[in-house]
Structure 1
Amino acid sequence: MTSAKTGGAPPRRPGGALRAAVAPLLGLAAAAKHAYQLYHPPRPAGPARTPADKGLPTHHKTVVASYDGVPLRAWVVPGAGPHTVVVCHGMGRTKSMTLGHIALLHRAGHHVVAYDMRNHGDSGADRALGRMAERYISDLRDVLYATAADPRLRGGAIALYGFSFSTWPALQVVPRSRVPVAAVIADSGPAYDVPAGLRHFAALRGRTMRRWLRGPLTLAVQGRAFEFFAMRMLGLADWPPDLSAYDTRLMFIGSAEDTFVRPESVERTARHYPGAEYWTAAGAPHMRGVRFDAAEYEKRVLGFLAEAFDASEKAAEVGDHD
C-alpha cells in the first residue's frame, strides 16, 4: 500500500515505445520553432559595443524600411573618403560583430555604414512568416539609397560587405538597386545550395537536442522539416542572381575551419561568377578570418576594394566624357 505521507510514487518517465512515437512530432515542432528563430533570433542582453568604444567618430542613423516601416538602426563612421562600404552582419548577430572590420575599413580611409538587420540588435521587429528574403533585400536597398543621399559621405562609390546570411541579400540587391554597387565582399557565405545549407544547419542544431530526441528518424524529420519551414519563410527566388549585366566586382571569402558554411560551398558560389575572386582564410572559424588570418585578410580585402573603387572612378570619368 502507498502511505498518505508520501503521496504516492513519483510519475514514471514515458516508456521507450511512447518516446519513440512522440519524438518525431517533437522534432517537427522544434524545426518550426528554429526556422522562425532563424529570422527572429533572441536579442542579446546588455549594452552593445559601438565604434566610439574604439575611438572612431560615430553618427547614429535610422532608415525606415520602405517594405513595411520597420526602423533600421545604423552607424555612420566617416572616413577620409570619398568611398563608402556598407557593412551587413551575420544572422543572429548585430552590427557590433563588425567592429573589427569597421576599424579596418576606417584606417584605409573609407566611410562605413553598418546597420542592424530587421529583428536584430537595435532595429525594429516584424512577426512575418514569409517573404523574408524580399524584406532583407528591400531593407539593404533602402540603406543603399540613404547612404548615397547622405551629404556627409561625399558621393563616392559604394561597396557592400556581407557576412554569412547577409551575403545573400548583398548579391541579390545589385540588380534591384538604382544606386550602382562597385563591389561586394561576401565573407563566410553564401552557400550555393541553400536547401543543403539549411539541412546542415539543422544537423548542427540537432546535436544540442536531448539525447532521446537524437534518433535517426527524429533527426531526419527535424532536418527536412527545418529546411521546408525555413525555405518557405525565406521565399528565396532567382538564386544565384544573374549579375552578368553589371560591372560589380565580387570577392568571396571562405573560413578554413568553418563548421556552419563550409568553404567549399562558398567557393562553388564564387565559381558561378566569372572573374570573381575567392580566398580561404587559414585557421579561421565562421566569420573570423579578420582575427585568425589578420595580415592576409587585411591585404586581400583592402587591395580588392582599392582596385574596385579605382575601376569605378575610371568608369565614372569615361561616362562624364561621353
Structure 2
Amino acid sequence: MSTDRTARPEAAGGKPGPLSWVASALALPLAPLYGALLAYFVYHPPRRPYHKKPEDLGLAATELTVPLDGRGRRLHLWLCPGARDRVVVVGHGLGLSKAASLAHAKLLSDAGYTVALFDHRNHGRSSADRACWGMSDRHTGDVLAVVRHLRAQEEYASARIAVYGFSISTFPSLYMLRKADECPVDAVVFDSGPSLELGSLFGNFVAAGGLPVPRFLRTGPSGRVLAKACGALATAMLRVEWPPPVQGAYARTPMLVLTGERDTMIPEAGVRALAERYPLAEVHALPDTEHLQGIKAHPDIYTDIVLGFLDRSLKE
C-alpha cells in the first residue's frame, strides 16, 4: 500500500450509480471497521522493495543504521557525502521509502550538499514498531535521531543542517522544531504539506485514492462513514498538539513550503493557512501540479526554488 501518491481516475470522479449506492448502503456496517484498519495501515504499511537505489542516479552512498531507542530499533540511511558544512536530511512520504526521494537527493548532491536519506520506522529497511499510539512523537523521533546522529559525527558537528519532509511526513519535520534547543536545525523544506487542519487530511487521502478501498466502500454512505472513521482514528493515533505555537524555533527558523495547485490530498489552502502563521515561512504554489509531483511537473522551477532557499538559509 502506498499512502502518498496521486489520485487514481476511478477514485476521483463522480457520484455513484444506483447499483453502487445500494452496494455501499449494504456494506455500511463494514465501513467503520475498514476505516479503523486503514488508520492503522497509514502508519504500518506493507513494505515494498526499493524501486531505485542511489547508484541508479549516479549517487555515491554509504549505508548506515542509526539507533532509535534502547529496544534495538534502528533507522536505515543512505549517506551521500558532499560538503561537510552543509547537510540536508531527506525523508519520504508515509507508505513509501527513501527511494522515493532519490530525485530530490540528486539535485541536492549535484549542488554540493551532503545528503542523508532515511526510512521512517515501519518503512523501507528501518525497524518495525507495532505501536499504534503517539505516532507523532514516534515519527518526530525518527527525524531527531538522524539529526542527532549527524551532529555527533566529527565531520558534521558544526555543519548547517536542513530537514526536508514530504506529504504526511512534513508534519513531524515541522514538529521537531519543538526540540530545537537540544537538536537544532537551520532550515526546513516541506513538499506537499503540512496543513493547518488534521481532521480532514486522512479523509482526503481516501477520497483521492491514496489508500486502497474497495469501490463499494469508497462511495455513497459507506464512503462517508469510512472516511470519517479513518480520519478520526488516524488523527487520534497521532496524539499531537497542532498547530505548533509561533514561538522559539518556530519564529526564527527559515521554512520553504512547496505545494501544488491541484493537490487534493493536502490542498494548497490548508498549507498556506499553516505557513502564514510563521514569520520566516515562504510558500510556492506550483501550477497544474498534483500531490508530490512538483519535481516532475516543473523540474527547473522546483530546483531553482529549493537550491535558492537553501543557499540563503545555510550560508554562514
Mapping 1:14-25, distance limit 5 Å? 22-25=26-29
The equivalent position to 2:44 in structure 1, one of 27, 35, 40, is: 40
Cα-to-partner distance string for 1:211-253 (whole Å, 9 max, x where unaligned): 544553322221221122111222122x121243222111111
Q: Which has the higher contact order (CA 8 A, sep 6+)?
A: 2
Q: Could you tell me whether the CA contact under 8 Å between 1:89 and 1:97 is conserved in 2?
A: yes
TM-score, structure 1 as length reference: 0.85
Match of 1:199 in 2: 203
**Partner SS for 1:202:** helix
Does residue 72 in structure 1 map to residue 42 in structure 2?
no
Pick from 187, 194, 198 the counterpart of residue 190 of structure 1: 194
SS of 1:162's equivalent in the other structure is: strand
Aligned-pair CA distance for 1:205: 4.5
Structure 2 CA distance for partners of 1:208 and 1:117, relative to 1, 3 Å: closer
Note the alpha carbon deviations across 1:147-197, whole angstroms, 9 max, x for none: 111234363111000000111111111121412111011110012101121
Map 1:50-89 → 2, pairs under 5 A:
50-66=53-69, 68-89=71-92
- Deviations along 1:83-120, one digit per CA (max 9) or x if unpaired, are 10000101111000111110111111111111000111
Aligned partners of 1:152 and 1:29: how far apart in 2? Answer: 50
* Cα distance change of structure 1 residues 211 and 227 upon mapping to structure 2, 3 Å threshold: closer
The correspondence of residues 143-162 of structure 1 with structure 2, limited to 5 A, is 143-153=146-156, 155-162=158-165
Letter in 1 for 2:40: Y
**Alignment RMSD (CA, Å):** 2.4
How far apart, CA to CA, are the structure 2 residues paired with 1:21 and 1:292?
39
- From the superposition, tell whether residues 204 and 110 of structure 1 become closer, same or farther in structure 2 (CA, over 3 Å): same
Q: Is 1:233 aligned to 2:237, yes or no?
A: yes
Retained in 1: the 8 A contact 2:150–2:157?
no
Matched, 1:31 2:28: no
- How many residues are treated as equivalent by the alignment? 295
- 1:59/1:231 CA distance change after superposition, 3 Å: same
Q: Which residue of 2 aligns with 1:8?
A: none
Q: Which residue in 1 is equivalent to 2:227?
A: 223
Choose the corresponding residue for 1:258, options 235, 254, 263.
263
In the other structure, the counterpart of 2:135 is: 132
Residue 130 to residue 208, structure 1, CA distance change in 2 (3 Å): closer
CA distance in 1, matches of 2:299, 2:98: 20
Which letter maps to 1:228? A
Distance 1:74 1:226, change over 3 A: same
Question: What one-letter code is carried by the residue in structure 2 that aligns with 1:131?
Answer: G
Per the TM alignment, residue 302 of structure 1 is displaced from its structure 2 partner at its CA by 0.6
2:107 is the alignment partner of 1:97: no
Q: Which moved more, 1:138-147 or 1:206-215?
A: 206-215
Change (3 A) 1:196 1:306: same
Contact 2:88–2:115 (8 Å) recurs in 1: yes
Give runs of ≥4 in structure 1 deviating > 6 Å. Answer: 18-21
Q: Which moved more, 1:139-148 or 1:173-182?
A: 173-182
Contact 2:87–2:113 under 8 Å retained in 1: yes
Residues 26 and 167 (structure 1), Cα distance of their counterparts in 2 relative to 1, 3 Å cut: same
Deviation string for 1:265-297 (max 9, x for gaps)? 211111111231000122322112112111111
Q: What's the counterpart of residue 311 of structure 2?
A: 306
Residue 270, structure 1, aligned to residue 267, structure 2: no
CA contact (8 A) 2:218 2:226 kept: no
Provide Cα deviations, 1:112-148, integer angstroms capped at 9, x if missing partner: 1110001111111111121111111112111110011
Identity of aligned residues (%): 35
The one-letter amino acid of 1:292's match is: A
| Alpha-carbon distance in structure 1 between the residues aligned to 2:171 and 2:215 | 34
Is residue 140 of structure 2 the alignment partner of residue 164 of structure 1?
no
Query: CA 1:307–1:231 in structure 2 vs 1: closer, same or farther (change >3 Å)?
Result: same
Name the stretch that deviates more: 111-120 or 244-253: 244-253
Separation (CA, whole Å) in 2 of partners of 1:219 and 1:39: 21
203-212 or 96-105, which deviates more:
203-212
Q: 1:212 to 1:300 in 2, by over 3 A?
A: closer
Structure 1 unaligned blocks of 5 or more: 1-14, 314-322
Query: Match for 1:280 among 279, 282, 285?
Result: 285
